[in-house]
């Protein structure tokens, strides 16, 4: 399964660079590829953060589905 995913990613990367060089002039290919790589890295960073928060929230909900505030009284119990 990992091998298939890696092969698919390699095919995607090869097509991405080829399409970029076909669509843009030679002097702009490096800039366009760099901007695309930067956008992908920022998107991956944001998605990793969002998924981490959602997983944490899901685990908290799974482990303690009925959270209630603690009821502490300052008066001594009789």
Q: What is the pLDDT of residues 8-27, one digit of tens each?
A: 888 888 887 888 889 999 99
Whether 49 has a pLDDT exceeding 90, the answer reads yes
Phi then psi for residue 25, to 5 deg, are: -65, 160
- The residue among 1, 41, 68 whose CA lies nearest residue 33 is 41
CB 33, CB 15: distance < 8 Å: no
What is the per-residue pLDDT for 76? 66
Residue that the structure tokens 């997983």 belong to: 55
């Amino acid at each position: 399964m990992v091998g298939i995913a890696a092969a698919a990613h390699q095919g995607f990367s090869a097509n991405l660079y080829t399409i970029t060089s076909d669509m843009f002039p030679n002097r702009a290919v490096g800039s366009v590829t760099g901007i695309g790589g930067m956008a992908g890295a920022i998107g991956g960073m944001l998605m990793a953060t969002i998924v981490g928060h959602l997983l944490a929230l899901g685990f908290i909900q799974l482990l303690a589905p009925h959270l209630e505030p603690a009821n502490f009284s300052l008066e001594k119990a009789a």
